[in-house]
Structure 1
Amino acid sequence: MSFGEMSITLEDVSILLKIMGTDKVVAVDNFSRYTEDSRKEAIELVSKLLGVTIEEAEEEVNITRSLAIRKAWLKTWWSPTGKSKPLHYPPVQCTARAFLLYLLSCTLFTDKSGSRDSIAFLKLLENLDDVRNYAWGAAALAYLYRQLGSATKF
């Protein structure tokens, strides 16, 4: 950011956060609106990628009444003293996804609630080898500007 300029740029994000901004686009289809289809997909995604039962995933989505899960729920399941018994993946992969989802929602994509994690980002964590290839810096900057725009509306 040059002197006198008040805009945050992708270069600023790259320097401040030490993350690149020009790799694979961070985009998730079907998670922009809460519909019955997106709700079902979210429940299946939580169950498959975090290793909980469909019933447990559905209960959590019903509690939040959105395409999100609570941070407290993540802590309960995936903390060292949690009760998680992953079904589809080795425990380390489920735990890694839970941690990365928590990290993303607490740092780059925090919202005003401060207590929920968007399930949309979980979709990007399906292939853990691919996570480093996303343009997280560009996504964080776009998200920041969107949140600033929302905050200025009455």
Structure 2
Amino acid sequence: MFITLEDVSILLKILVMRKVVAVEGFSRYTEDYRKEAIQLVSKLLGVTHEEAEYEVNITRGLNVRKAWLKTRWSPTKKPKLLHYHPLQCTARAFLLYLLSCTLFADKSETQVSIALLDLVENLDDVGNYAWGVVALAYLYYQLGSATRVEV
């Protein structure tokens, strides 16, 4: 018995037939990807280059902390954002947090991959992705890594 795309569609009520979810890069940690990740965080979340660099460096990877997303864009705080309209930055941060807690949850439970940020750059496109396909693929990937002896 296997989980199928039909199961994902019925249980989660998310699309399985739409635009393909694909992220270029960010597959492994390199200095070039680290620099690109810092620029992406700074540009799309509207934070300073220094704040983005600190956040990427503190996670020691191509991630940001969920706690940082949650506190930085909390409703009680009025964040100073540099590039985009504050509402767009807040929406991106919320979507990033939501995706990492639901469809892309992993054993770390504390970090969010910056690769997801690339998918929420254009907020009008977010609803056009086949999230069900990638959620199922990610589930199988996580199940495969969780069943290894050393984990």
Q: TM-score, normalised by structure 1?
A: 0.94
CA distance in 2, matches of 1:83, 1:38: 30
Q: What are the equivalent positions in structure 2 for 1:1-154 lying under 5 Å apart?
A: 6-154=1-149
SS of 1:128 mapped into structure 2:
coil
TM-align CA RMSD: 0.8
**Amino acid in the other structure paired with 2:52:** A
Whichever residue aligns with residue 53 of structure 2, its letter is: E
Question: Between the two proteins, what is the percent identity of the paired residues?
Answer: 77
Q: Which stretches of structure 1, 4 residues or longer, exceed 4 Å deviation after superposition?
A: none
What is the CA-CA distance between 1:83 and the residue it aligns to? 5.0
- C-alpha offsets along residues 107-149 of structure 1, whole Å, 9 cap, x if unaligned? 0000101011111000011100011111100000000000011
Gaps of 5+ in 2: none
For residue 22 of structure 1, give the secondary structure of its aligned residue in structure 2: coil
Which amino acid in 2 is paired with 1:20? L
Distance in 2 between the 1:89 and 1:67 partners?
Answer: 22
Q: What are the ranges of 5 or more consecutive residues in structure 1 without an aligned counterpart?
A: 1-5
TM-score (norm 2): 0.96
Q: Which amino acid aligns with 1:122?
A: L
- For residues 56-91 of structure 1, what are the alpha-carbon distances to aligned partners after superposition, in whole Å with 9 as ceiling and x for unaligned? 000000000011100110112100123521111111
CA distance in 2, matches of 1:116, 1:97: 16
